[in-house]
Amino acid sequence: MEFSVRASLEQFTLVHPAGGAPITISVAAPAVPPDANVPILFVVDGDLVFGMAAEIARAMSSVGAVPAHYVVGIGYDADYAAFLKLRTADLTPPLAAAAREAMGAFGTMIGSERNGGADGFLAFLVDMVMPELAARHPRTVGGAHILFGHSLGGLFAANALLTRPASFSAYVISSPSLWWDGFSILQKLPAFAGRLAALPRQPRIFVDVGGKEQDVPTHVPPELGATLEAVQAQILACRMVDAAVEFADALAAAGASGLRRVVFAEDDHMSVVPAALLHGARFALGREG
């Protein structure tokens, strides 16, 4: 079998749904082009995660470990400080004032004063990005659509699943920031059960977290502007590992059947990303039960 070992990259921009700076859409085509119904892996936080996701997909599909698929990154083409604030505005459900105040220096760093754009951003993906990709890449029409999100992106993927589960064929919910707004996203679980039951076909759901994400740090970077004690208290309050496990169990109790929950024992909040991309995509594409 012959295929290109070079990465394929296309980029274009779309108008931001809230009128901000244009959104950069990055597209990596599969190394071995199939004929039709090609799946798409949509990756929010594309500025950080797209390159990693595209290379994993290219390597794995080239040896037949996963079906060939497109990887699409949704990003901002911004520097890191701006990126942190832009993603907060777009990926989060609304945040109550008291919860925002409690975030302190961390909230300032990520721009928590601008929040609540998750529903509008999901509509942007479904109503603008997906049709644009179908027009540019007709072979994807009819293929599975998979959403990957990590951290606040994981919160976004969880919110999309709970509110509009038919939007994607599969959801990879990695290290979700369920703590946002005092875990208020969990209030959407009862309505989710009814939405799920009404679907002709359930989405596949992969929930993961790094096993070390609740380990308290012994030091904090000075640029964070917070005390060690404050950071330790916040990490304990976020309950990243426990909350992710409980969330997956709650999805199963709501009737989710195609569900896998994984705790990557040796990983922390950032090192878990490549493992989540690899195993989450394999599960979403039907190659890992």
Q: Return the minimum-mean-pLDDT range out of 62-76, 190-204, 219-233.
A: 219-233
Mean pLDDT of 30-38: 80
What is the structure's pLDDT at 35? 78
Residue 117 CB-density burial (10 A; 0-12 exposed, 13-18 middle, 19+ buried): buried
Closest among 3, 161, 14 to 73, alpha carbons compared: 14
Nearest-angstrom CA–CA distance, 116 and 100: 12
Rounded to an integer, the average pLDDT of 220-227 is 73
pLDDT for 226? 72
Q: In the predicted model, is pLDDT for residue 63 greater than 70?
A: yes
Residue 7 is encoded by which pair of tokens?
A: 């990465």
Task: Give strand ranges (E) for 2-69.
Answer: 10-14, 23-28, 40-44
Q: What is the torsional sign of CA 70, 255, 116, 235?
A: negative
Tokens describing residue 229: 């004690």
- Strand boundaries in 35-190, DSSP class E: 40-44, 70-75, 145-150, 170-174
User: For the packed helices 272-284 and 46-62, what is the interaxial angle rounded to 10 degrees?
Assistant: 50
Q: What is the pTM assigned to this prediction?
A: 0.94
Q: For position 227, what pLDDT does the model report?
A: 81
E strand or H helix at 73, and its extent? strand 70-75
- Sign of torsion over alpha carbons 9, 14, 17, 19: positive
pLDDT band at 3 (very low <50, low <70, confident <90, very high): very low
Mean pLDDT rounded to a whole number for the chain: 92
Dihedrals φ, ψ of 13, to 5°? -120, 155
Instruction: Check residue 44 and give its pLDDT.
Output: 98
> Quick one: pLDDT band at residue 223, thresholds 50, 70, 90?
low
Min mean pLDDT across 54-68, 156-170, 219-233, 244-258 is at 219-233
Distance CA 166, CA 169 (A): 7
Q: Percentage of the chain with pLDDT > 70?
A: 96
Residues 95-137: pLDDT tens digits? 999 999 988 888 988 999 999 999 999 999 999 999 999 999 9
The confidence score (pLDDT) of residue 1 equals 42
* Whether pLDDT at 2 is above 80: no
Burial profile 182-204: b = 16 or more Cβ within 10 angstroms, e = fewer: ebebeeeeeebbebbeeeeebbb
The token pair that represents 26 in the structure block = 């990055």
